[in-house]
Amino acid sequence: MDYDDMLDRALEETPDIEGSSDRFDLPDPEVRPEGNVTVYENFQDTCDLLGREDDHVMKFLQNELGTSGHIDESGRARLTGEFNERRVRGAVEEYLEEFVLCSECGLPDTHFEREGGVLLLRCEACGARSATSG
């Protein structure tokens, strides 16, 4: 087998990366005030779409928004304080950039894996691996 044959074989076995992060549409956060708490109604749907554990997303939102909160029995996030849709969406978009989209190809086809105590983001589309802060 010569170089050209090996190159052709490698190209055939390389997965095609189609699309872009544009195919990943985040739903607008449905937030409403309830006393001194902001209720994020579609929090669970957002976590499901992101493909991440709700506890991980909630911890990030708390840090990003500088507040406390919890997830109620209905899967809604209850954040202490008053936060509008724009502010919550900004925090979710930060999470998307840091913990979902691949830093190499920009696709959302990623998952977490732990290696030697370090949390890595592994991309199924291009195979890239990068360390995360969470």
Q: Are residues 95 and 29 in the same domain?
A: yes
Give the pLDDT band of residue 10 (cuts 50, 70, 90).
confident
The answer as to whether 50 is a domain residue is: yes
Query: In degrees to the nearest 10, what's the CA dihedral of 61, 44, 94, 111?
Result: 120
The answer as to whether 3 is a domain residue is: no
pLDDT at 4 over 70: yes
User: For the residues 40-65, what does the mean pLDDT come to?
Assistant: 95
Stated as kind and residue range, the H or E segment containing 47 is: helix 43-50
What pLDDT score does 26 carry?
84
The answer as to whether 15 is a domain residue is: no
- Domain housing 109: 104-134
Hey, what long-range contacts does 108-117 have (CB within 8 A, 24 or more apart)? 108/21, 108/24, 108/50, 108/51, 110/51, 111/51
pLDDT at 33 over 60: yes
Query: What is the chain's mean pLDDT, rounded?
Result: 88
Q: Is this structure's pTM higher than 0.95? A: no
What pLDDT score does 134 carry?
66
The answer as to whether 77 is a domain residue is: yes
What pLDDT digit, counting tens, does each position of 57-116 carry? 999 999 999 999 999 999 999 999 999 999 999 999 999 999 999 988 888 989 999 888
